[in-house]
Amino acid sequence: MSIYNIQATTIQGKEVQLDDYKGKVLVIVNTASKCGFTPQYSDLQKLYDRYKEQGLEILGFPCNQFNEQEPGSHEEVESFCQINYGVKFPLFEKTDVRGRDAHPVFRYLTEQAPFEGFDLTNSSGKLLHAFLQEKHPELLLGDDVKWNFTKFVIDREGNVVGRFEPTAEPLDMEPTIEALLK
């Protein structure tokens, strides 16, 4: 099994085979419009603008599984992202990223890059961990995506080389992305 054997549907309803992205460095991220991490769209777009010509693609998968923070229609999600953050990278239809109905992309990614915990040396890592422990302890179990804006980096050969939890800023991935683009 490879990431390239999976297909997904864009937010406009077009089926895409992920092998269309062979030879690219990918960042795959689950997103939401009403989350405390939503401003990460801005830096994701900066990375896309900075490295697209060198072979970076960012694939955003809106998800409503975490406190219903992505309630809008596909059209509303796309419009929100473009108007508020100037998002030009590909967005896909709203999907589940954890549990029984998780999209195959996220089942594959979490198998390849298991959850290693939050960075408890920074305040947002401590806050998210404490919030989940108190309100949603079931989300801390296993390797599934824990919250919105979990980011996975895939090299040009389709290998998952990094998992960045929601508390990691998109620009924290820049050294990894730059190394893979060389």
In terms of Cβ atoms closer than 10 Å to its own Cβ (0-12, 13-18, 19+), residue 138 is exposed
CA distance 182 to 177: 9
CATH classification of 24-37+46-115+148-154 is 1.10.150.20, yes or no?
no
Per-domain residue ranges for the chain?
24-37+46-115+148-154
**Residue owning tokens 């401003």:** 39
- Which of 3, 6, 35, 58 is catalytic? The answer is 35
Q: Report whether pLDDT(1) > 90.
A: no
| Annotated catalytic residue 35 | yes
pLDDT at position 45 is 98
- Give the 3-state secondary structure of residue 52: helix
CB contact at 8 A, 159 and 152: no
CA distance 26 to 41: 16
Confidence of residue 55 (pLDDT cuts 50, 70, 90): very high
User: Could you give the count of Cα atoms lying within 13 Å of 76 in the half-sphere of its Cβ?
Assistant: 9
